[in-house]
Structure 1
Amino acid sequence: MRIIVCGMGVVGQSFLKLLISSAGNLYKNYGIKPRVVACIDSKGIAYSPTGLDINEILAIKQEDGNLSRYKSSLLNSDNPIEDIDAEVFLELTPTNLSTAEPGLSHIIAALRSKKNVITVNKGPLALSFSSLIELSEYNNAMFRFSGTVGGGTPVLEFAKHCLKGDKITSFEGILNGTTNYILSRMADGLPFAEALLDAKNKGYAETNPSLDIDGDDAAAKLVIMANWIMGYKVTLKDVDKTGITDIDPEEFIKAAKEKKAIKLIAKCNNKELFVKPIAIQKDDPIYVNGTLNAVTFKSEHSGEQTIIGKGAGGMETASSILRDLIEIKQSMLNYRTV
């Protein structure tokens, strides 16, 4: 299975490390012999039709990150995503919730060239979900994105597969681990600024944490879930969103007296989509602290089901890519036997 990896940050490098450690298991259990034929990032491209030396790629990224130092095969192309022969294209560039670029253009190019696509980039799905699904179907290409919600926790798969046959009527949960950590620290008495600094020092928050603390990241995940699970056709502009920057410290004291905790809750119910801080009971299944995520699905027949897990992390997110890769391989085999 030939793979193009586009985006060589923490997740991209974690995926390559996971490929190395999982090679034997992938072949033994799933018949997958992954061959990374290209790695692309903002500094260049490494290409070999016979497969790259992944260990050398990782070493280069650790040294200076310049992929052009790799002794690549000659590639005469201005459109490598379209022209390189591969079964799977991984779009792992950083999320951009304003324009979804460059990820959106990357995914479109890959799908148009009939490549199966896996992404953990929320931007393209939050802004152009329906058109990307239609494009993948038109080109008979598979499009998988389980890592966009929950990181390594299989939130989307849980809803689509474990609750198959039942009708999900609504769902709500904590979809952003950074804000959950900050709110947990504020419940301990820290002011917002100190809680945010603590999150940055521990590596939970980015240097510019606005996507998290303003609620945009949770809103993007909510949109993806609503479209994929509920069949809606919504985008970010359809979400009523409030972040965590203006919560009165007195609200934490009040919540504690009522045996509640303030959490940034994302909810989908009857096409009403919102992200906002809410005081929830401490015996609520989605009451989790630290960087954990939690989602409760309400179904017509099976009632309430809750899934809890880590929502981020390089290796955790890389594991979701591996799950998607296995699913694509199995779907390819099933298609050939029909």
Structure 2
Amino acid sequence: MGFGAVGKGVAEAILLKNDFIKENYGFELNIVAVADSSGSAISKEGLDLKSLLEIKSKTGKVSNYPVYGTDIKDMDVLDNVEYDCLVEATPTNIETGEPAKSLTIKAFNDKKNVVTSNKGHLALFFKELMDESQKNNVQFKFEASVGGAMPIINFAEETLSSTDIESIIGILNGTTNYILSRMTSEGSSYENTLEESQQLGIAETDPTQDVEGIDAACKTVILANIILGIPCTYKDVYVEGISKITSESIELALKEGYLIKLIAEVSKNALEVSPRLVKKNSPYAVDGTLNMATLKTDLADEVTVIGKGAGSLETASAMLTDIINIYK
């Protein structure tokens, strides 16, 4: 459900990796329905993803798919197909969490597993969604919702399963990191750098969710709940963005050996997203659209992960990993 940048990325990733998955894990992925705002394409035998991507690229609508194109939309798609796992990639909605919330709960009630890249419904209704998945004895995976290709949830739950994680502090938004990195290297103003990043397609036409810290705050909520077991929602996070950062303040910080970064802190003491000073040679000094997070643990001390926080194929890689983990 959802066939924008992320949904198309998942289709591309499956095209690239289906043989690899069959060889290494012993199963094939068969896409039996794809939906966008225009309608859907549904085939119980499975859709040809190459054709589907071409049709979407040329016409903008999956409903134009020959023979199997249909005007069935939204929740009705789930009633018109037999499937094992819903891949939910609709746009993030931080006001209501829809349509992701309703689609997800319907899939759970139909005893289906769900993989999502969405943040809105998780930031607003985390406990309700987890309760529903457990009640229906299905799996709910959302690695892609936090750091794109940067492995953090699976990393914490599997690789660091012997440790108690005390805090997570990191850069969880690639757009703001790109803007601050460019302002630092070029000495340019916030306004000019934002405009440049919009022209490059790094920042959205309406960049509010990124630059005001909303996106990073949603990710903070998800990490607090799933990794630290702190029950919270979006309203519990202190949020301050980067729109007031000036080139002068960046220059001043540089002279003292510091950079300014938009930092998310997840701990028992703080749920916060705000610009902070970080040392130039620290793990927080990543450039461009990279994300990073340092997990403070009791046994392993500090462990830092770094990865691309955006990009359709990068985000799809996390969703594909979640699908494989559900199968395993």
TM-score (norm 1): 0.93
- Asked if 1:15 corresponds to 2:4, the answer is no
Task: Name the structure 2 match of 1:154.
Answer: 151
Q: CA deviation at 1:97?
A: 0.9
The one-character-per-residue Cα deviations of 1:246-290 (angstroms, maximum 9, x if unpaired) are 124332122111100000000012242000000111122122111
Determine the C-alpha separation between the residues in 1 that align with 2:290 and 2:34: 31
- Asked if 1:163 corresponds to 2:160, the answer is yes
Task: Name the structure 2 match of 1:302.
Answer: 300
Q: CA deviation at 1:73?
A: 8.1
Determine the C-alpha separation between the residues in 2 that align with 1:73 and 1:126: 33
Q: Which amino acid aligns with 2:216?
A: A
Q: Which amino acid aligns with 2:265?
A: K
Runs (4+) of structure 1 exceeding 6 A deviation are 73-78
Task: Name the structure 2 match of 1:136.
Answer: 133
Q: CA deviation at 1:135?
A: 0.2
Q: CA deviation at 1:186?
A: 1.5
Aligned counterparts, 1:1-338, within 5 A: 6-70=1-65, 71-72=67-68, 79-188=76-185, 189-330=187-328
Conserved 8 A contact 2:242-2:275: yes
Determine the C-alpha separation between the residues in 2 that align with 1:193 and 1:271: 34
Determine the C-alpha separation between the residues in 1 that align with 2:76 and 2:4: 21
1:9 to 1:283, Cα distance in 2 relative to 1, 3 A: same
Gap regions ≥5 residues in structure 2? none
Determine the C-alpha separation between the residues in 2 that align with 1:289 and 1:76: 44
Q: Which amino acid aligns with 1:171?
A: I
SS in 2 for 1:36: coil
The alignment yields a C-alpha RMSD, in angstroms, of 1.6
Q: CA deviation at 1:75?
A: 9.9
SS in 1 for 2:147: coil
Determine the C-alpha separation between the residues in 2 that align with 1:163 and 1:14: 29
The one-character-per-residue Cα deviations of 1:108-150 (angstroms, maximum 9, x if unpaired) are 1111111100000111111111110110010111100000011
Moved more, 225-234 or 77-86: 77-86
Q: CA deviation at 1:84?
A: 2.0
Determine the C-alpha separation between the residues in 2 that align with 1:59 and 1:268: 42
SS in 2 for 1:149: helix
Q: Which amino acid aligns with 1:88?
A: C
Q: Which amino acid aligns with 2:22?
A: Y
Q: CA deviation at 1:66?
A: 2.1
Conserved 8 A contact 1:180-1:292: yes
Gap regions ≥5 residues in structure 1? 1-5, 331-338
Determine the C-alpha separation between the residues in 2 that align with 1:309 and 1:303: 20
Determine the C-alpha separation between the residues in 2 that align with 1:138 and 1:57: 35
Q: Which amino acid aligns with 1:175?
A: L
Q: CA deviation at 1:67?
A: 2.1
Determine the C-alpha separation between the residues in 1 that align with 2:324 and 2:135: 22
Q: Which amino acid aligns with 1:112?
A: N
1:255 to 1:26, Cα distance in 2 relative to 1, 3 A: same
Determine the C-alpha separation between the residues in 2 that align with 1:190 and 1:135: 48
Q: CA deviation at 1:58?
A: 1.0
Task: Name the structure 2 match of 1:3.
Answer: none
1:159 to 1:104, Cα distance in 2 relative to 1, 3 A: same
Q: Which amino acid aligns with 1:72?
A: Y
